[in-house]
């Protein structure tokens, strides 16, 4: 299937206020998207809609060929991996790291059934991929913020999602942990049957080369979208942020600075 996500003319209002308006976004299989937008621009609201947690006031959403309103959302959700800081709070602090990862297979918080040997083996493979093997018997509460984020991504991957949504996964990470996490995301993207990745960030330097597409959200609508290399220019981002900025490119990464 070529289309992973289709958002068409989506509006969402709350208390007579338009939060999202005329949103259009098409995500194809094989692309990975970075989503940028200032605080309150509507990113989380949009992703909550993709997860089916909230419903558009008008417009249409299709995920993996299923049009919302005509499909069992629970079933679609099984194909979406979702990692956000709000999810982190739901994990029980005393849960074993290996169990948290295995539980991703069952889309449950906590393990309620005896995992199979295959499940444990797969969880161990993810632990290895994320360089977390030494933590497998530790509890979640003892892990650092960077380790927690990697654990949650590994957990999401246990369900073999077709779409992986990472909502600001680098929040609270130091420079080294952030780079390790970005390396892990790059590795995932290169795997066989890798999911389509949507990565929400506030930091342009985190838009690693795997994110070939970018979506700029401003004031509850799409400001611009397209190929990252063409879209993220000093001119466009100056318009987007409303302050004069300059994009520097170096070894396939970018940085942003305010100019005067």
Ligand X SMILES: Nc1ncnc2c1ncn2[C@@H]1O[C@H](COP(=O)(O)OP(=O)(O)OP(=O)(O)O)[C@@H](O)[C@H]1O
Mapped onto helix, strand or coil, the DSSP state of residue 39 is coil
Residue matched to tokens 């709350």: 14
Q: What whole-number distance in Å separates Cα of residue 56 and Cα of residue 59?
A: 6
Query: How far apart, in whole angstroms, are the C-alpha atoms of residue 242 and residue 55?
Result: 30
Q: Which is nearer to ligand X, 96 or 203 (CB)?
A: 203
251 binds ligand X (CB under 6 A): no
Told to check if 53 binds ligand X by CB under 6 A, we report: no
Classify residue 179 as exposed, middle or buried by CB count within 10 Å of its CB (0-12, 13-18, 19+): middle
Stretch that binds ligand X, among 1-9, 33-41, 169-177, 178-186 (CB under 6 A): 33-41
Token pair listed for 80: 């979406």
Q: Which stretch binds ligand X (CB under 6 A): 24-32, 42-50, 55-63, 68-76?
A: 42-50
Nearest distance from C-beta of residue 44 to ligand X, angstroms: 3
Closer to ligand X by Cβ: residue 84 or 103: 84
**Part of the chain binding ligand X (CB under 6 A), chosen from 23-31, 32-40, 122-130, 179-187:** 32-40
| Closest by Cα among 164, 147, 242 to 210 | 164
- Asked if 201 is part of the footprint of ligand X (rule: CB under 6 A), the reply reads no
How many residues make contact with ligand X (CB under 6 A)?
10
Choose among 183, 208, 205, 210: nearest CA to 195. 210
Taking CB under 6 A as the criterion, the residue among 7, 34, 41, 101 binding ligand X is 41
Pairing of strands 3-14, 196-201: unpaired
| 37 touches ligand X (CB under 6 A) | yes
Nearest CB to ligand X, comparing residues 48 and 136: 48
Residue 22 backbone phi and psi in degrees, to 5: 45, 50
Chain positions contacting ligand X, by CB under 6 A:
14, 19, 37, 39-45
């Amino acid at each position: 299937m070529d289309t992973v996500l289709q958002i068409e003319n989506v509006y969402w209002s709350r208390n007579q206020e338009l939060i999202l308006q005329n949103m259009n976004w098409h995500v194809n299989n094989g692309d990975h998207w970075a989503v940028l937008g200032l605080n309150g621009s509507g990113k989380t609201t949009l992703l909550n809609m993709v997860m089916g947690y909230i419903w558009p006031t008008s417009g249409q959403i299709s995920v993996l060929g299923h049009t919302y309103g005509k499909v069992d959302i629970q079933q679609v959700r099984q194909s979406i991996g979702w990692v956000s800081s709000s999810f982190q709070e739901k994990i029980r602090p005393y849960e074993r790291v290996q169990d948290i990862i295995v539980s991703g297979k069952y889309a449950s918080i906590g393990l309620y059934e005896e995992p199979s040997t295959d499940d444990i083996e797969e969880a161990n493979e993810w632990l290895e991929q994320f360089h977390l093997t030494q933590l497998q018997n530790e509890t979640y509460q003892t892990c650092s913020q960077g380790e927690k984020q990697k654990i949650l991504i590994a957990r999401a991957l246990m369900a073999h999602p077709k779409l992986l949504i990472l909502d600001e996964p680098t929040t609270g990470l130091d420079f080294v942990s952030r780079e390790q996490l970005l390396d892990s995301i790059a590795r995932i993207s290169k795997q066989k049957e890798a999911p389509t990745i949507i990565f929400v960030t506030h930091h342009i330097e985190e838009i690693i080369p795997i994110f070939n597409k970018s979506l700029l959200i401003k004031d509850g609508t799409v400001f611009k979208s397209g190929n990252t290399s063409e879209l993220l220019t000093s001119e466009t981002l100056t318009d987007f942020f409303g302050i004069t900025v300059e994009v520097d490119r170096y070894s396939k990464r970018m940085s942003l600075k305010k100019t005067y």
